[in-house]
Structure 1
Amino acid sequence: MLYMLIILLIVLAALFIWRRAGTKRAGRPGETQEGLTSLNNRDARENERPLASRAGVAEEDRAYTPPTSAAPVIEENGPPTVMIVDDQTAIRMLLREVFELEGLRVFEFSHGKSAVETLKQKRVDYILLDLKMPDMDGIEVLTAIRAHNRTVDVAMITAYGDPLKLDAARKLGVTTFFTKPFEIDDVKQSVLARLNG
């Protein structure tokens, strides 16, 4: 319990520092106060949709080959979107704050089922996916994601390097891996480079 309290205090301190840095950066091209305000309005219903089914899941041992055309998704206007799927609240809060300060739209989930369901209904440009979660592990979530969208960029977050799971993730098209504890700036720069590339 004390360990979780310390982590929460560290995250809150980091968020405070990021907010102060964000106000000093106001006026950057593409960053407006109006945009940041609208991004902070969260729709709780987006995080509550259940997974309808796991039908059509691809075989884990088959190598991933990206198709030549993009998978059909619901087109939406607006800033690029990042989905964060991690069962650790502090990590989700910190990543959300960092990306919203960059003007991105963020979806966050503590488990894979709602994330997969939202992916079927919303445009998602980049996914940060934890490898180890309680309801579905990262490979199960990634397999369900690929059954619906074979082109979205996915990076895996892991606290340990299980070679079999990492190999399975590579076969499903993952090329970027972040090991906990990660440098938040490295994650931010990597995601922004992919979205702007």
Structure 2
Amino acid sequence: MLLLAPNIVQSANLDWPAAKGLSFKITHGVEIGRNATGKPAAQLSFVCSAQGGLHLLLRTRLPIEYPYRKNLMGRVNDVWLYVGKGIERKIQFVFDVVAQGRGNAQDLDEWIFGIDDPDTIVTPQMSMEQVASLENLFGTTPPTRVSVVGIWETGVFMVGAHPGSAIRKIRENCVATSD
């Protein structure tokens, strides 16, 4: 277990194999961002589907209070992925909120930091241009900051877990499989 905020323990399984609500089966992937110290638990992964599609998968608890979460599911356009310290290294994506975590905590800190069932947010299949841009943004060393901003007017802030070479390896090994 990971202590994220005073007296609040994060126990969620944020790894991509535990993702719920996906319309495709994941064959393999790599974590490219993980929760930053003092921030809500989050994991951003780059994954390959059994159909050979490449996707970004975000598992976190979006910082939206309980009464407003009833409208959480669905497509969100104009979401930005920022990599590094500045705002100039970014790429725009469309994300779909495909699974809503359960629970109804009334205290926002408990709701965000004490998650045991995260929200699942995923991009549609990425274009090769998007994948190439993602590889370039992540560079040769894991970035110090990775942020996803614009999912229902929220932001998720993480640290980089792997460089662009890990993204390239998944891309190179992502082929359609027959199930």
Could you tell me the TM-score, scaled by structure 2's length?
0.22
Larger Rg, first or second structure (1 or 2):
1
**Structure with the larger RCO, 1 or 2 (CA within 8 Å, 6+ apart):** 2
Could you tell me the TM-score, scaled by structure 1's length?
0.21
Larger proportion of strand: 2
